[in-house]
Amino acid sequence: MLCYTGKPIFSVDIHPDGTKFATGGQGEDSGKVMIWNMAPVLREEDEKNENIPKMLCQMDNHLACVNCVRWSNNGLYLASGGDDKLVMVWKRAAFIGPSTVFGSSSKLANVEQWRCVTILRNHTGDVMDVAWSPHDIWLASCSVDNTIVIWNARKFPEMVTCLRGHTGLVKGLTWDPVGKYIASQADDHSLKVWRTVDWQMEANITKPFSECGGTTHVLRLSWSPDGQYLVSAHAMNNSGPTAQIVERDGWKTNMDFVGHRKAVTVVKFNPKIFKKKQKNGSSPKPSCPYCCCAVGSKDRSLSVWLTSLKRPLVVIHDLFDKSIMDISWTLTGLGMLVCSMDGTVAYLDFSLDELGDPLNEEEKNSIHQNIYGKSLAITSTEAQLSTTIIENPEMLKYQQERQISAQANSAPGSTGPESSAPKLNSVMNGESLEDIRKNLLKKQVETRTADGRRRITPLCIAQLDTGDFSPALFNSVPILPSGSSMSCQLAPHQWHLQSVKSSLLITSASKIEPMKALDSRFTERSKATPGVTSAISSTAGLTPLDSRPKDAVSAMKEVKTKEDTSSDSEDKMATINKNLSFSKRKPELLLDGGEVVEKRKKGRPRKDKMAAPIAQSFNQVERRRKDKQYSPFMLLPTPSTQKAFSLQVSMEPSVFLEVENEMSVVAGSKLSQLRCSRDGRDWNTLLPSSVVTAAGSSDILAVACEDRMLSVFSSCGRRLLPAIQLATPVSALHCSAHFVMVLTAGATLSIWDVQKQKALVKNESLQTILSGADTTVSQSLLTQQGVPVIGLSNGKSYCFSSSLETWTLIADKGDSLVQCADFRSCLSTQDAPVSSGPLAVMQGRNLNAGRLASRLSSTPHHLQHSMTLAFLENQLASALTLQSAQEYRYWLLIYARFLVNEGSEYRLKELCKELLGPVHKSAATAWEPTTLGLHKRELLREVLPVIGENLRFQRLFTEYQDQLELLRNK
Burial (0-12, 13-18, 19+ Cβ within 10 Å), 374: exposed
What is the rounded distance in angstroms from the CA atom of residue 333 to the CA atom of residue 293? Answer: 10
At position 891, the amino acid (one-letter code) is W
Which of 349, 482, 342, 483 has its CA nearest to residue 4?
A: 342
E strand or H helix at 26, and its extent?
Answer: strand 20-26
For 669, list phi and psi in degrees, rounded to 5.
Answer: -105, 140
Give the three-state DSSP class for 349.
Answer: strand
pLDDT of residue 545: 39
The bridge status of strand 264-269 relative to strand 292-297 is: antiparallel
Q: Are 810 and 880 in contact (CB under 8 A)?
A: no
**Residue pair 69/13 in contact by the 8 Å Cβ criterion:** yes
pLDDT at 210: 83
β 700-705/505-507 pair status: unpaired
CA dist 850 and 832 (Å) reads: 19
User: Quick check: 842 and 808 in contact, CB under 8 A?
Assistant: no
User: 684, 678, 761: which is closest to 718 by C-alpha?
Assistant: 684
Provide the pLDDT for residue 660.
Answer: 92
b/e burial code for range 473-499 (CB count within 10 A of at least 16 → b): bbbbbeebbbbbebeebeeeeeeebbe
Q: How far apart are CA 269 and CA 220, in angstroms?
A: 11
Residues of the chain with pLDDT under 50: 103-107, 368, 371-387, 413-443, 460-631, 849-850, 853-854
Q: How far is it, in rounded angstroms, from Cα 363 to Cα 103? A: 53
- DSSP H helix total and E strand total for the chain: 19, 57
In the prediction, which pLDDT does 904 show? 85
| Residue 761 confidence (pLDDT) | 93
CA pair distance 905, 923, nearest whole angstrom: 30
Give the Cβ contact number of residue 612 at 10 Å. Answer: 17
Strand partners, 25: 9, 32
- The C-alpha R_g of the chain, in whole angstroms, comes to 36
CA-to-CA dists, residue 784 to 538, 699, 781, 832, angstroms:
16, 12, 10, 20
| Residue count (the chain) | 970
User: Would you give the distance in Å from CA 508 to the centre of its chain?
Assistant: 35
- Whether the ω angle into residue 653 lies within 30 degrees of 0, i.e. cis, is yes
Q: How many percent of the chain have pLDDT more than 90?
A: 27
Give the sign of the dihedral formed by CA 402, CA 403, CA 408, CA 409: positive
Among candidate residues 113, 97, 632, 152, the one with its CA nearest the CA of residue 424:
152
DSSP secondary structure code for residue 602 in this structure: S
- Distance between CA 964 and CA 940 in Å, rounded? 9
Distance CA 47, CA 44 (A): 5
The three-class DSSP label of residue 194 is strand
Query: What phi and psi values does residue 595 have, to the nearest 5 degrees?
Result: -80, 145
- How far apart CA 705 and CA 682 sit, in angstroms, is 22
C-alpha to C-alpha distance for 92 and 469, rounded to whole angstroms: 13
HSE value, Cβ hemisphere, 13 Å, CA-based, for 283: 0
CA–CA separation, 552 and 72 (whole Å): 53
Q: Quick check: helix, strand or coil at residue 821?
A: coil
The pLDDT, as a whole number, for residue 227 is 81
- By the 8 A CB rule, do 960 and 940 touch? yes
299-325 burial, b at 16+ Cβ within 10 Å, e below that, comes to: bbbbbbbbbbeeebbeeeeebbeebbb
What are the C-alpha distances in Å from 823 to residues 577, 631, 906? 34, 48, 19
907 forms bridges with which residues in the sheet? none
For the stretch 105-142, pLDDT in tens is 444 567 888 889 999 998 999 999 999 998 889 999 99
CA distance 455 to 445: 8
For residue 126, CA distances in Å to 7, 27, 278 come to 18, 16, 49
Note the pLDDT of residue 367. 56
Reference 578, options 527, 521, 618; nearest CA is 618
* Residue partners of 105: CB distance under 8 A and separation at least 6: none
- Cα 858 versus chain centre, distance: 12
**What is the spatial distance between Cα 373 and Cα 375, in angstroms, rounded to a whole number?**
7
825 class by beta-carbon count within 10 Å (0-12 exposed, 13-18 middle, 19+ buried): middle
- In tens, the pLDDT along 349-405 reads 988 888 888 887 667 656 545 543 343 332 333 443 344 567 677 777 777 777 777
Question: Residue 388 in 3-state DSSP?
Answer: coil
pLDDT of residue 754: 94
Give the single-character DSSP code of 480: B
Contacts of 955 (CB under 8 A, 6+ apart): none
Closest CA to 705 of 682, 719, 688, 718: 688
At 14, give phi and psi (nearest 5°): -90, 135
What is the rounded distance in angstroms from the CA atom of residue 242 to the CA atom of residue 235? 5
Q: 650, 743 in Cβ contact below 8 A?
A: no
Look at residue 376 in the predicted model and tell me its pLDDT. Answer: 38
